[in-house]
């Protein structure tokens, strides 16, 4: 290996993928590589891919092609890592001449061997089976703003939903050792992090695979023993695993955001059955009612899938009515994408793409009006706001978020302030106006 190769990376997809990218970069940096941002000056560019749906795969291919047109191929090698490699394996380098190599999600402990071979001029793919226990090749080299950081608490998934390839790509659910999680969070907080988001394919399954580990509630209690001033946010909670102990903890601990991300996917019982989700509409409604009663003011986020096989007009209308009646603070949606190798791939009663697209448009139009209406209730009230950074080129305006707004997926607060504000700073702000998704506030100095 030549001295100090320069490495750049592009991370696509979810925060879990970005964390993988950060561990790869730290691993390579500790082994003498120079990590740089400008891929045009790199010896190697790693594209960490997403393969959840067809659009994600196309984005990965488009990114590769765009990069290939911007580099000198005699100097810079392009590599694909992550989920697409688990799906396509050696086909990637055989069909994409722009690629010099590919390495799968479960092969990062072989990065040193992989890199040496690449820099020696070899084209290769490394794809291994998932580890039996949680494994990370290294700690992270943060590529996000250090004041708000997602922390992965598990890998893989045991839910085996009928539409999803994640268990095939990422393997069975493997909880991360709780002491490692607490240690990482403590280090982050000591360095100034002010918001921690717990993430996994299913955070509420934490500890179920290991009798020596606590459940999610027990893990959060361990984290809460840290005495720092910060927000803790729970993402990706599976509906049927949200129990009263978790809800009571959210209600009683001020540092846990009164916020919960619950990917429902749908509310029609027949569609939920087709999806392989193990709960009913009645259970969803009871859960929402219970959450709102036990945690007054809680903000709920969900994601729903439009156009899954079996979603007829009656089922879709039921979803629309649910959105209007239960008025969740944040609702996102995406269109079903048939994935070869899943149970749903061979199902009948598929929904035409144009129909699914129209249904999604109608749902999000309705949700936009709901969000605008809900946001009005904040006007005139004062909330703690975490500052993310400056707002565009406006010298006296900043981007921030309340505890009921998760980073990247929810709206923001645009804060006017006479005082200079810094990222990671907690302030109090009075809400004075709203749009469908965002709020306008004035800092209380």
Distance CA 367, CA 333 (A): 10
- pLDDT at 35 exceeding the cut of 50: yes
Domains, the chain, in order of start with CATH, read: 6-126 (3.40.50.12160), 148-376 (3.80.30.20), 379-443 (2.40.50.140)
pLDDT in tens, 276-302: 999 999 999 999 999 999 999 999 999
Residue range 166-195: mean pLDDT, rounded: 97
List pLDDT tens digits, range 351-367: 999 999 999 999 999 99
Whole-angstrom CA distances from 140 to 23, 30, 85, 145 are 4, 11, 22, 13
Res 445: pLDDT? 79
The residues near 110 (Cβ < 8 Å, ≥ 6 apart) are 103, 126, 128
- pLDDT of 151 over the 60 cut: yes
Average pLDDT over residues 200-221: 98
What is the pLDDT averaged over residues 88-107?
A: 94
Give the angle subtended at the CA of 113 by the CAs of 129 and 106, to the nearest 5°. Answer: 20
Task: Report the alpha-carbon distance of residue 350 to residue 259 in Å, rounded.
Answer: 34
pLDDT(74) > 90 = no
* pLDDT for position 327: 98
- pLDDT-based confidence at 1, cuts 50/70/90? very low
pLDDT in tens, 401-424: 999 999 999 999 999 999 999 999
Question: Strand pairing of 195-199 and 174-175?
Answer: unpaired
pLDDT in tens, 247-262: 999 999 999 999 999 9
- pTM comes to 0.95
CA 138 to chain centre: 20
- Average pLDDT over the chain reads 95
């Amino acid at each position: 290996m030549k001295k100090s190769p320069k490495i750049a990376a592009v991370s696509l997809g979810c925060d879990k993928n970005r964390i993988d990218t950060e561990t790869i970069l730290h691993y390579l940096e500790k082994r003498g590589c120079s990590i740089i941002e400008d891929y045009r000056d790199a010896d190697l560019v790693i594209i960490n891919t997403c393969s959840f749906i067809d659009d994600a795969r196309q984005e990965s291919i488009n990114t590769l092609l765009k990069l290939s047109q911007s580099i000198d191929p005699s100097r810079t090698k392009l590599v694909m890592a992550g989920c697409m490699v688990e799906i396509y394996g050696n086909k990637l380098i055989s069909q994409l001449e722009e690629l010099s190599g590919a390495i799968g999600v479960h092969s990062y402990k072989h990065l040193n061997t992989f890199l040496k071979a690449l820099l020696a001029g070899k084209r290769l793919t490394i794809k291994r089976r998932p580890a039996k226990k949680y494994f990370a090749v290294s700690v992270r080299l943060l590529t996000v703003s250090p004041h708000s950081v997602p922390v992965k608490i598990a890998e893989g998934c045991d839910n085996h939903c009928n539409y999803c390839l994640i268990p095939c790509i990422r393997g069975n659910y493997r909880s991360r050792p709780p002491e490692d999680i607490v240690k990482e969070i403590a280090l982050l907080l000591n360095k100034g992090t002010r918001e921690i988001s717990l993430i996994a394919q299913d955070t509420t399954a934490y500890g179920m695979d290991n009798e020596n580990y606590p459940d999610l509630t027990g893990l959060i209690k361990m984290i809460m023993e840290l005495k720092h001033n910060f927000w803790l946010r729970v993402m990706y909670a599976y509906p049927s695993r949200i129990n009263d102990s978790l809800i009571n903890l959210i209600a009683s601990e001020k540092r846990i955001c009164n916020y919960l991300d619950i990917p429902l996917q749908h509310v029609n019982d027949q569609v939920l059955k087709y999806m392989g989700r193990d709960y009913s509409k009645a259970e969803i409604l009871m859960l929402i009612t219970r959450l709102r009663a036990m945690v007054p003011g809680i903000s709920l986020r969900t994601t729903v899938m439009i156009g899954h096989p079996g979603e007829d007009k009656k089922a879709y209308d039921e979803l629309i009515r649910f959105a209007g009646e239960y008025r969740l603070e944040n609702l996102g949606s995406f269109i079903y994408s048939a994935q070869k190798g899943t149970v749903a791939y061979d199902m009948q009663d598929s929904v035409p793409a144009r129909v699914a697209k129209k249904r999604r448009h109608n749902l999000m139009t309705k949700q936009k009006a709901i969000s605008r209406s809900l946001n009005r209730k904040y006007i005139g009230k004062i909330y703690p706001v975490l500052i993310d950074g400056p707002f565009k080129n406006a010298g006296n305006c900043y981007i921030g978020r309340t505890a009921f707004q998760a980073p990247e997926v929810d709206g923001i607060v645009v804060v006017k302030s006479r005082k200079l504000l810094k990222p990671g700073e907690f302030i109090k702000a009075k809400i004075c106006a709203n749009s469908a998704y965002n709020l306008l506030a004035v800092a209380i100095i």
